[in-house]
Amino acid sequence: MWGLVNNAGISTFGEVEFTSMETYKEVAEVNLWGTVRTTKSFLPLLRRAKGRVVNISSMLGRMANPARSPYCITKFGVEAFSDCLRYEMHPLGVKVSVVEPGNFIAATSLYSPERIQAIAKKMWDELPEVVRKDYGKEYFDEKIAKMETYCNSGSTDTSSVIDAVTHALTAATPYTRYHPMDYYWWLRMQIMTHFPGAISDMIYIH
């Protein structure tokens, strides 16, 4: 077996106090533990072929984002798992790469306006009374509106992601990380990963 691409993933939204523990576990089960399980299952074949592992992470595996903590946690985990695996597999001839796509939600059709509203209604209905009282419906609705805007933005052309995966699987010297994203997100990621936290907080926390 020459190559494994771990691409399965689910996403969700909601601030920490709006998100149930069940949601955290559900997202982690697919995005993180699914990646670990699948990789471990195929590593013997990949080792013998001196093949490739390509893990699909996200720009949100490198920089946190409000209202996306379940997704960010799991993608940060995929990044760490990939780094550990790359160190371990290097002497054995297996190359490990991470692809970190930017905002391609509009291309996936994961979140229609109707689905966002359905998720939001269920989330609000299940919130503890103290959380609903302290935050209020107006605040909650503002955050949902921001999520709708984000989901309707971004690229619908996934060719850059496909090109990155293809290169990681076929190039003689694949990159450690690929960044198929538009310039805004690329620049933001550089600032948030290379500048002191106080500076990136000052720019991006509103």
Residues annotated as catalytic (active site), given as ranges: 71
- How far is the C-alpha of 32 from the C-alpha of 48, rounded, in Å? 25
Maximum Cα–Cα distance across the chain? 58
Please check whether residue 117 is in contact with residue 145, taking contact to mean a CB–CB distance below 8 angstroms: no
Q: How are strands ordered across the β-sheet holding 3-6?
A: 3-6, 52-56, 95-99, 177-178
Q: What is the DSSP letter of 110?
A: -
Please check whether residue 180 is in contact with residue 101, taking contact to mean a CB–CB distance below 8 angstroms: yes
Strand, helix or coil for residue 54: strand
Residue 138 in tokens: 């107006």
Dihedral angle computed from the Cα positions of residues 159, 160, 161 and 163, in that order, rounded to the nearest 10 degrees: 80
